[in-house]
């Protein structure tokens, strides 16, 4: 990740630095020094910027003619502020956003929610920290600095048996102290929202607006891939911050009632799902474009003209991903300092659960997108495939297994392997000699079918005796398909699977889940390459290379195992996709 997004994670103790803007930027080969005077309310003085810098064309030409490199090291005053505090003897604490699992003894492993003492923040990507007696490197993007830096560690909730937090030590905290802590959290929520709005505005006006002027460099499809629906997010967040400010009590911040704002916008926040799912595509597209110098110079010129801090575009585009994950953390901290008698207590409690649900929805959609690659790989292993790809209509394997299919008119029974996806049931035949090879035979459109449970005995439609049977009946054509399982429990699993399939389709319609054409094509292309190669394909590197750039020679060389959207929640059961398909030898090594 290019840099932890400083607008959103600085504690109040450090907040004055978060408003600072570097007064200049020295670049190799530059003819002039860029400065950005800041006016009273923190907005940039555009007039001064124009006078000092000149036109966009001049800036672009100066940058093009320089030897400046994209993604250069260094940063704004925020990094210096943290290190100055550490140098002065202050203790700076950070709270883990995600688990950091490591096998390297030079790295510091931790769980989401752990508190880390930051000992060195000189490097933008990797910080040095300590937990109890353990020290090591950890990714800066995996943590947020604690809002209440002055809160003693002994007052911080600890994990007790069962994974729950023990808040009993807070009961002895004085009311004045608790009100002050709540004030700190409220102020952080308001201030970071304002900074986030400015950040989104800078992306929309500094990058997207300029890119649209250059039709010779960017197609509309490329811009959609790079920026996703960030403009929709910007419009949503502008309304949200106005709602927050209406509820903000400037004279007595601890009396502010902000919980209702999160409840009001919980549905609108689901638009982050589309953005988060597209983010890997954005990184790969940027990686491709920035191999060409003119794009490197153009993006940097956009940043300088908008007077944004010294982070490359991929770093800025990570902010919405981080932001939606931080709401539950902020609300959890707010709830911790809200008395049960406070008018905002119930709303904050409900808002915390609501935002956790939003994050869970994003996690689920991310899992679904990861599954499309597996589905594409499965299809590429099937011989004699006919018709459209599975991904044209489906994105989830619901269930699979062997059934006897009985067909008209001779009531002939055939053993087949069936794979139930959302919207369709795919039928395959095993090879007579090599049972690990499957041949495509047919498929059934589940949107037109109703499921009929069949009692054991003679079936009047097929005039044969059946056991453990069920039918699929087409409402439009009156076509009937009869299936028999080997055991009663297998039949029940299939009937349950058909219920789950309809439920999944309905949920997708309600939440607006869909897969883009580009994602489908890319998955099938990857599967095709892997199939021809004859061995599993390695994990695609560009996205991870984009996320973790290491510039310090002594930093760890391994990539942390980041759960991008996972919060400090109990681990969800793994997908049963491969459990369903693992019976097939082509997927075994």
- 194-219 residue pLDDT tens: 999 999 999 999 999 999 999 999 99
438 in Cβ contact with 417 (< 8 Å)? yes
Q: Alpha-carbon distance 283 to 46, whole Å?
A: 30
pLDDT band at 533 (very low <50, low <70, confident <90, very high): low
- 131-181 residue pLDDT tens: 988 899 998 878 888 766 655 554 444 444 444 444 444 444 556 788 888
233 in Cβ contact with 200 (< 8 Å)? yes
Residues 100, 103, 105, CA angle at the centre, nearest 5°? Answer: 100
562 in Cβ contact with 139 (< 8 Å)? yes
The lowest-confidence range among 96-105, 135-144, 287-296 is 96-105
**Tell me, what's the pLDDT at 84?**
75
**Tell me, what's the pLDDT at 511?**
74
Q: Alpha-carbon distance 112 to 98, whole Å?
A: 4
Q: Which domains does the chain have, with CATH numbers?
A: 75-145 (2.30.30.40), 179-370 (1.20.900.10), 396-512 (2.30.29.30)
- Percent pLDDT > 90 in the chain is 41
DSSP state of 208: I
From residue 200, give the alpha-carbon distance in Å to each of 79, 197, 207.
21, 5, 10
CB atoms inside a 10 Å sphere around CB 83: 15
pLDDT band at 347 (very low <50, low <70, confident <90, very high): very high
239 in Cβ contact with 261 (< 8 Å)? no
Q: What is the CA radius of gyration of the chain?
A: 28
pLDDT mean across residues, the chain: 75
Q: Alpha-carbon distance 535 to 537, whole Å?
A: 6
Please say if the pLDDT value at position 33 is more than 90: no
Q: Alpha-carbon distance 188 to 148, whole Å?
A: 10
Please say if the pLDDT value at position 508 is more than 50: yes
End-to-end C-alpha distance for the chain, whole angstroms: 33
- 393-435 residue pLDDT tens: 999 999 999 999 997 767 788 999 999 999 999 999 998 888 7
Residues 116, 117, 122, CA angle at the centre, nearest 5°? Answer: 110
212 or 100, greater pLDDT: 212
393 in Cβ contact with 444 (< 8 Å)? no
- DSSP assignment of 286-342: HHHHTTSHHHHHHHHHHHHHHT--S--HHHHHTHHHHHHHHHHHHHHHHHHTS-TTS
Q: Alpha-carbon distance 25 to 28, whole Å?
A: 10
**Tell me, what's the pLDDT at 286?**
92
- Show the DSSP H helices in 15-73 as ranges: 15-18, 46-53, 56-65
Q: Return all residues near 478 (Cβ < 8 A) that are at least 6 apart.
A: none
- 72-82 residue pLDDT tens: 333 344 566 77
Q: Alpha-carbon distance 512 to 508, whole Å?
A: 6
**Tell me, what's the pLDDT at 103?**
57
211 in Cβ contact with 257 (< 8 Å)? no
**Which among 471, 457, 464 has a CA at the least distance from the CA of 405?**
471
DSSP state of 538: P
pTM: 0.53
Q: Which two tokens stand for residue 321?
A: 């991903």
């Amino acid at each position: 990740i290019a840099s932890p997004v400083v607008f959103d994670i600085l504690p109040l103790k450090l907040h004055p630095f978060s408003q600072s803007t570097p007064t200049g930027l020295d670049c190799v080969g530059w003819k002039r020094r860029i400065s950005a005077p800041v006016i009273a309310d923190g907005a940039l003085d555009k007039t001064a910027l124009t006078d000092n810098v000149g036109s966009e064309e001049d800036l672009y030409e100066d940058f093009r003619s320089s030897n400046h490199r994209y993604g250069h090291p260094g940063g704004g005053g925020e990094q210096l502020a943290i290190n100055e505090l550490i140098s002065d003897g202050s203790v700076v604490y950070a709270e883990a956003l995600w688990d950091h699992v490591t096998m390297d003894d030079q790295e510091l492993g931790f769980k989401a929610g752990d508190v880390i003492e930051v000992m060195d923040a000189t490097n933008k990507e990797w910080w040095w920290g300590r937990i109890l007696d353990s020290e090591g490197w950890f990714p800066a993007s995996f943590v947020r600095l604690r809002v209440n830096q002055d809160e003693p560690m002994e007052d911080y909730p600890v994990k007790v048996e069962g994974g729950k937090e023990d808040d009993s030590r807070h009961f002895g905290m004085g009311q004045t102290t608790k009100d002050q802590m709540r004030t700190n959290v409220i102020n952080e929520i308001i201030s970071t929202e304002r900074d986030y709005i400015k950040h989104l505005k800078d992306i929309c006006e500094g990058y997207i607006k300029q890119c649209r002027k250059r039709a010779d460099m960017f197609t509309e499809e490329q811009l959609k891939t790079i920026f996703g629906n960030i403009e929709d997010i910007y419009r949503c967040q502008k309304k949200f911050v106005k709602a927050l400010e209406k509820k903000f009590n400037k004279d007595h911040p601890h009396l502010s009632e902000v919980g209702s704002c999160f409840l009001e916008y919980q549905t609108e926040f689901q638009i982050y799902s589309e953005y988060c799912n597209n983010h890997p595509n954005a990184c790969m597209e940027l990686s491709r474009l920035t191999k060409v110098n003119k794009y490197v110079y153009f993006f940097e010129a956009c940043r300088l003209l908008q007077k944004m801090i010294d982070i490359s575009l991929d770093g800025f585009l990570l902010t919405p991903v981080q932001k939606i994950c931080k709401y539950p953390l902020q609300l959890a901290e707010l709830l911790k300092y809200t008395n049960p008698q406070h008018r905002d207590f119930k709303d904050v409690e409900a808002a915390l659960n609501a935002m956790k649900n939003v994050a869970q929805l994003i996690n689920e959609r991310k899992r679904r997108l990861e599954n499309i690659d597996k589905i594409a790989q499965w299809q590429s292993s099937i011989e004699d495939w006919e018709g459209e790809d599975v991904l044209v209509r489906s994105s989830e394997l619901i269930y699979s297994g062997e059934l006897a299919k009985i067909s008209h008119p001779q009531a002939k029974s055939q053993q087949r392997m069936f794979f139930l996806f959302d919207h369709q049931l795919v039928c395959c035949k095993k090879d007579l000699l090599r049972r690990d090879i499957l041949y495509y035979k047919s498929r059934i459109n589940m949107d037109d079918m109703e499921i009929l449970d069949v009692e054991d005995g003679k079936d009047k439609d097929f005039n044969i005796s059946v056991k453990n049977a069920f039918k699929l009946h087409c409402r439009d054509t009156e076509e009937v398909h009869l299936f028999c399982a080997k055991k009663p429990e297998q039949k029940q699993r299939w009937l349950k699977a058909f219920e789950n399939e309809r439920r999944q389709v309905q949920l997708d319609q309600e939440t607006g889940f869909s897969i883009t054409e580009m994602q489908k094509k890319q998955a099938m292309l990857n599967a095709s390459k892997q199939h021809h190669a004859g061995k599993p394909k390695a994990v695609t590197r560009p996205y991870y290379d984009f996320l973790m750039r290491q510039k310090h020679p002594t930093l760890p060389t391994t990539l942390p195992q980041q759960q991008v959207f996972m919060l400090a929640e109990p681990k969800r059961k793994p997908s049963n996709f491969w459990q369903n398909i693992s019976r097939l030898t082509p997927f075994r090594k």
